[in-house]
Chain A
Amino acid sequence: MTAEIGQFSLIIAFVVSVIQGTIPLVGAARGNQAQMQLGTSAAFVQFMAITISFGALITAYVGSDFSILNVVNNSHSLKPMLYKITGVWGNHEGSLLLWGWILALFGFAVALFGRNLPLSLKARVLAIQGLIGVGFLLFILVTSNPFERISPAPFDGQGLNPLLQDPGLAFHPPFLYLGYVGLSVTFSFAIAALIEGKVDPAWARWVRPWTLIAWGFLTLGIALGSWWAYYELGWGGWWFWDPVENSSFMPWLIATALLHSAIVVEKRDALKNWTILLAIMAFSFSLLGTFLVRSGVLNSVHAFASDPTRGAYVMGFLVLVIGGSLTLYAIRAPGMKGGGLFAPISREGSLVLNNLLLSIAAATVLLGTLYPIFLDAVSGAKVSVGGPYFNTTFLPIVIPLIIALAVGPLLPWKRADLKGVLSRLKMAMFLVLVVVGMTWWLSEDAPVLAFVGMGLFTWLVTGILVEWAARIKLFRTSLSNSWKRFVNLPRSAHGMTVAHLGVAMLVLGITVNEAWQSENLSVMNPGETVTVGGYDFTFNGIEEMRGPNYDILRGSFKVQKGGNFVVDLSPETRTYQQPPMQTTEAAIWPMLSADLYVVIGEQDGKGGYAVRIYHKPLISWIWIGALVMFFGGGLSLSDRRFRIGAAARKKVSLQKPVKTAGA
């Protein structure tokens, strides 16, 4: 019964999205109020319908309803409850339904919070959301129906890939999708603006919260994925330049650029065309990512299915969306004249540089990701593009970006005096010399990039603090006065400072870990001790245990530093029955100063075990940095000027009196 309810409400959602995608658009063109208002109710109904459908699938998983093919393929009655639920999106069909649900959620949120949007703009935005929904729901219904029945129903399911049975991964897809799909809203706003032929600062203010939400969740989703790879795969790495990682990283780069260029539209009424283009590109990259990951073009843990009809459908959809929106852009964009002029050395100029560098970074990642696919198609040669390519192309682009990041916020709008600004950064230059010198003194044979990284970190942190101190006139006026300024500073300013500090933490974490991590690989017999990174790891032996749906081989290690007890670590090898598979569970002791990371491997037949131990200094700063960036985005979002729906156009042509900001 649940399957029929789910299937039926999915069809309803599809029909409603067709209505949502057409009638309000027609209404907006004709100025018909009732037709335009239909968008709001349609978005609401569509959301309810997909929620019911999604709920039905979750119910089927929770109740282990093995008459549904999707549940049979991906669940098992013995699986813990958390993974029964998260297994819903641990497969192709379910993850698409999650995609559709989040899309509807965003449409619903626009309908709900967009009360102050001009009716025609709101109708058009919701209509574009509806059209995207048409594409995805049709895809689900035609090629990837999660509610397909199987007869006769088997006694039990086939289980979920044990690698995916993990709390980190349980929440990685939803967050990533909130980011991916959140970019659909900025896309819809961009297309609506192109149809209306009007982009102004108010438009930028409406778009900004949505960009921030999408960017924030994308940041979080990528960080969670990286963290999962770090502790679950047991290789000790945190980023592999894997095509799947890249396909989430490209939209992030473009969304970051969009976030910054929208500021210029908002404050200075310039860079309009460019911002629209970025909004289109950001969502196009989201779709491309979905296509790459879901079509089976790439093979990885994410490639659930390699059904060619699915690939062809997504490819067609991709061409339609990207081609269509770029065509519309080509027709409409030249008509939109920018307002504010600015000199190359100015805040606007620095934001343009930020945008150029981020876009080029995205382009190099795109090339590295797609090249193997092209080469295979053209010549049949199998190649992979890995770390070395990205290190040599990506780093030279990011290093100037970070140097400029410390300078940009110090530049005033319109026209700036670079000399004056650089003289305010004298302190930063001095500290960079000190830190690089100290690094050299402490660790002479460190790689060049270690010095570059330490210098960048120092430069960035000092630059950020100088800017922040200038804003609150720290030490230039009384402390109480500074405090007052601090409190009165808009939240978005604090948000920027915090997010940029997050970048600095990320730089520090990456640099220190890459340059100074140490590892040891050896066969250890019980009682033996190995020293890595100043910590003594003593192997106490092995015990065998049983987990909820797997057998455990658990090693036990005592870690000491200078004779003082630090922690007991127990890395495991797990053997699952369904599906039959082994996984390695690294034991990790995360500290702010370093992570201790132990993996246990095979027996050598003489009582010893192969053991790999890492000491990874400051690696947790990578994820803390990402969290801080997310938090900075949230802080910026909470700024009352940008509260969703709070902004209103200055010259208002609404029938209703406009609510004031912060209402």
Chain B
Amino acid sequence: MTRKRRRLYIVIVAMALLGSAAGLILMSFEDSLVFFYSPSDLVEKPVPAGRTFRLGGLVEEGSYKKDGVLITFKVTDLAESVSVQYRGLVPDLFREGQGVVTEGQFDDNGIFIADNVLAKHDENYMPPEVAESLKKAGNWQGTGEKK
């Protein structure tokens, strides 16, 4: 086996592997990208039921109710709001009026069924997506920004 042929083999194998990796990536990008929307985004561009995305905003004052382990609340950007249902334990810093990011899908009744309510890491932390969507909705007061 000459050096050239060996190199050729390696290049061919590498190309084949890279090609299949690229194929896998393209295939999985189709359905595994999770977009982030604010309640106002959803009014502008409705998302069909069953499609997974992230919904973020503030937990609307007075909307948080629990029935056993079934939790319901509304996510708002102070312009629009969306009802959310979640089965599970809410993260430590979940509170009305605080920022929240949830991941899940709409059901057929337009209720957002969250698989996940993302934990925040500290009291003053505001998810940047939420901060931005509040700014867009014109309701940013500059509170809660990370120090």
Chain B residues, CB < 8 A from A392: 24, 27-28, 32
Q: Mark A336-380, 1 if CB is under 8 A from B, else 0.
A: 001001111000000011001100100110010001000000000
Say how far A611's CB is from chain B's closest CB, in angstroms: 8
Chain B residues, CB < 8 A from A301: 121
Known contacts A383-B36, A393-B21, A522-B68; A161 and B54 CB within 8 A of each other? no
Known contacts A396-B24, A522-B69; A161 and B1 CB within 8 A of each other? no
Interchain CB contact (< 8 A) of A382 among B36, B68, B123: B36
Interchain CB contact (< 8 A) of A356 among B1, B3, B14, B90: B14
B14 near A300: Cβ-Cβ < 8 Å: no
Interface residue? A604 (CB, 8 A): yes
Interface residue? A479 (CB, 8 A): no
Chain A residues, CB < 8 A from B33: 383-385, 389
Chain A residue with minimal CB distance to B124? A579
Say how far A503's CB is from chain B's closest CB, in angstroms: 20
Complex Cα distance, B85 from A485, in Å, reads: 64
Complex Cα distance, B1 from A344, in Å, reads: 9
Q: Mark B12-49, 1 if CB is under 8 A from A, else 0.
A: 01100110110011011101111110000000000000
B13 near A300: Cβ-Cβ < 8 Å: no
B146 near A581: Cβ-Cβ < 8 Å: no
Interface residue? A601 (CB, 8 A): yes
Chain A residues, CB < 8 A from B10: 352
Complex Cα distance, B36 from A163, in Å, reads: 26
B34 near A383: Cβ-Cβ < 8 Å: yes
Known contacts A341-B6, A382-B35, A383-B35; A523 and B121 CB within 8 A of each other? no
A interface bracket (residues with beta carbon within 8 Å of B): 35 or more
Interface residue? B110 (CB, 8 A): no
A581 near B68: Cβ-Cβ < 8 Å: no
Complex Cα distance, B93 from A235, in Å, reads: 14
Interface residue? B138 (CB, 8 A): no
Say how far A71's CB is from chain B's closest CB, in angstroms: 16
A364 near B68: Cβ-Cβ < 8 Å: no
Say how far B89's CB is from chain A's closest CB, in angstroms: 4
Interface residue? B97 (CB, 8 A): no
Chain A residues, CB < 8 A from B17: 356-357, 360
Question: How many residues does chain B have at the interface if contact means C-beta atoms less than 8 Å apart?
Answer: 42
B31 near A388: Cβ-Cβ < 8 Å: yes
Within 8 A of A (CB), among B41-71: 54, 66, 68-69
Say how far B12's CB is from chain A's closest CB, in angstroms: 10
Chain B residue with minimal CB distance to A304? B146
Interface residue? A247 (CB, 8 A): no
Chain B residues, CB < 8 A from A384: 33-34, 36, 54
Interface residue? A32 (CB, 8 A): no
Complex Cα distance, B83 from A316, in Å, reads: 45
Chain B residues, CB < 8 A from A529: none
Complex Cα distance, B27 from A233, in Å, reads: 32
Chain B residues, CB < 8 A from A385: 32-34
B31 near A344: Cβ-Cβ < 8 Å: no
Chain B residues, CB < 8 A from A383: 33-36
Chain B residues, CB < 8 A from A306: 146
A382 near B69: Cβ-Cβ < 8 Å: no
A-side binding surface: helix, strand, loop or mixed? mixed
Interface residue? A167 (CB, 8 A): no
A581 near B35: Cβ-Cβ < 8 Å: no
Interface residue? A35 (CB, 8 A): no
Complex Cα distance, B28 from A654, in Å, reads: 56
Interchain CB contact (< 8 A) of B18 among A233, A360, A584, A610: A360
Say how far B115's CB is from chain A's closest CB, in angstroms: 11
Chain A residues, CB < 8 A from B35: 381-383
Chain B residues, CB < 8 A from A363: 21
Interface residue? A549 (CB, 8 A): no
B21 near A364: Cβ-Cβ < 8 Å: yes
Say how far A304's CB is from chain B's closest CB, in angstroms: 10
Chain B residues, CB < 8 A from A233: 119
Chain B residues, CB < 8 A from A397: 21, 24
Most buried by B among A382, A384, A397: A382
Chain B residues, CB < 8 A from A163: 121-122
Interchain CB contact (< 8 A) of A602 among B25, B89, B123, B129: B89
Known contacts A344-B9, A610-B68; A388 and B28 CB within 8 A of each other? yes
Chain A residues, CB < 8 A from B68: 522-523, 604, 608, 610
Chain B residues, CB < 8 A from A582: 92-93
Chain A residues, CB < 8 A from B20: 396
Interface residue? B88 (CB, 8 A): yes
Complex Cα distance, B93 from A583, in Å, reads: 8
Complex Cα distance, B129 from A384, in Å, reads: 11
Chain A residues, CB < 8 A from B3: 338, 341
Say how far A377's CB is from chain B's closest CB, in angstroms: 14
Interchain CB contact (< 8 A) of A393 among B13, B25, B93: B25
Complex Cα distance, B6 from A604, in Å, reads: 69
Complex Cα distance, B3 from A413, in Å, reads: 16
Interface residue? A197 (CB, 8 A): no
A601 near B90: Cβ-Cβ < 8 Å: yes
Interface residue? A599 (CB, 8 A): yes
Complex Cα distance, B31 from A306, in Å, reads: 31
Complex Cα distance, B34 from A382, in Å, reads: 8
Chain A residues, CB < 8 A from B24: 364, 392-393, 396-397
Say how far B15's CB is from chain A's closest CB, in angstroms: 10
Residues in chain B within 8 A of chain A (CB atoms)? 1-3, 6, 9-10, 13-14, 17-18, 20-21, 24-25, 27-29, 31-36, 54, 66, 68-69, 87-90, 92-93, 119, 121-123, 127-129, 132, 146
Sample 9 A-B pairs with CB under 8 A, ordered by A number. A235-B119, A356-B14, A364-B24, A383-B34, A396-B24, A523-B69, A581-B123, A584-B92, A612-B89
Residues in chain A within 8 A of chain B (CB atoms)? 161, 163, 233-235, 299-301, 306, 338, 341-344, 352-353, 356-357, 360, 363-364, 367, 371, 381-386, 388-389, 392-393, 396-397, 521-523, 573, 579-584, 599, 601-602, 604, 608, 610, 612
19 new A-B contacts at CB < 8 Å, known A301-B121, A306-B146, A602-B89: A341-B2, A352-B10, A360-B21, A364-B21, A364-B24, A371-B29, A382-B54, A384-B33, A384-B34, A388-B28, A389-B25, A393-B21, A393-B25, A521-B87, A522-B69, A573-B92, A581-B93, A602-B66, A612-B89
Closest 9 CB pairs of A and B: A382-B36, A601-B89, A392-B28, A388-B32, A389-B32, A582-B92, A301-B121, A523-B68, A393-B24
